Amino acid sequence: MPKVVCNSSPLIHLAKVGKLELLKGYFTEISIPEAVYRECVIDGKDREDAKRIENAAWIRVVDIKNIDLKKAFNTVLDEGESEAIVLALQESADLILLDDYEARELARTYGLKVTGTIGLLIKAKYEGDISSIDEMLKKLRRTGFWLSDDLYTKILRDEGEL
């Protein structure tokens, strides 16, 4: 199975829409840095999605080693995104899960393969694990996931749902 590192956003939003287990099915194990664990579990301690993430035994917290690189990334990204990219580089990850545009672009400049919540949901549709991208995007938006109307329409068109 591929080595996969994940940032907070995909974990939180997939947990909120009841699809966190897709990650286990596709990747067996996900690695996250301490900052992502803090954002998902500690900061959200009373939320149901935080409990789902905390109880997922297949999510592994890994310490990052290159603190200087993290500090450099922190000038443009938040701590979780910075640590996730550092961890992906440290672990020679096959894939990093990020939703933030700037984080995705920075990860790509370091040669990392990137996807995010929407990419995972598109995979889920192709795998038969969900029946409708439109339904899932509507649920995501209700959780606070930001998606422009233009991108929403493009995704539905690309996936044959418009």
152/39 Cα distance (integer angstroms) = 27
The separation between CA 157 and the C-alpha centre of its own chain, rounded to angstroms, equals 23
pLDDT the model gives residue 23 = 96
pLDDT the model gives residue 75 = 96
52/54 Cα distance (integer angstroms) = 6
Q: Tokens 């990860």 correspond to what residue?
A: 107
| CA angle at 92 for the pair 71 and 19, rounded to the nearest 5° | 90
- At 97 the three-state DSSP class reads strand
- pLDDT tens readout for residues 90-112: 999 999 999 999 999 999 999 99
- Residues facing 30 on adjacent strands: 59
| CATH number listed for the domain at residues 4-117 | 3.40.50.1010
Structural element, H or E, at residue 4: strand 4-6
DSSP string across 19-74: -THHHHHHHS-EEE-HHHHIIIIITTTTSHHHHHHHT-TTEEE-----HHHHHHHT
Under 8 Å CB-to-CB from 37, ≥6 apart: which residues?
61
- pLDDT tens readout for residues 16-68: 999 999 999 999 999 999 999 999 999 988 899 999 999 999 999 999 999 99
pLDDT the model gives residue 1 = 76
- Taking the CB of residue 39, how many other CB atoms lie within 10 A of it? 24
The length of the chain in residues reads: 162
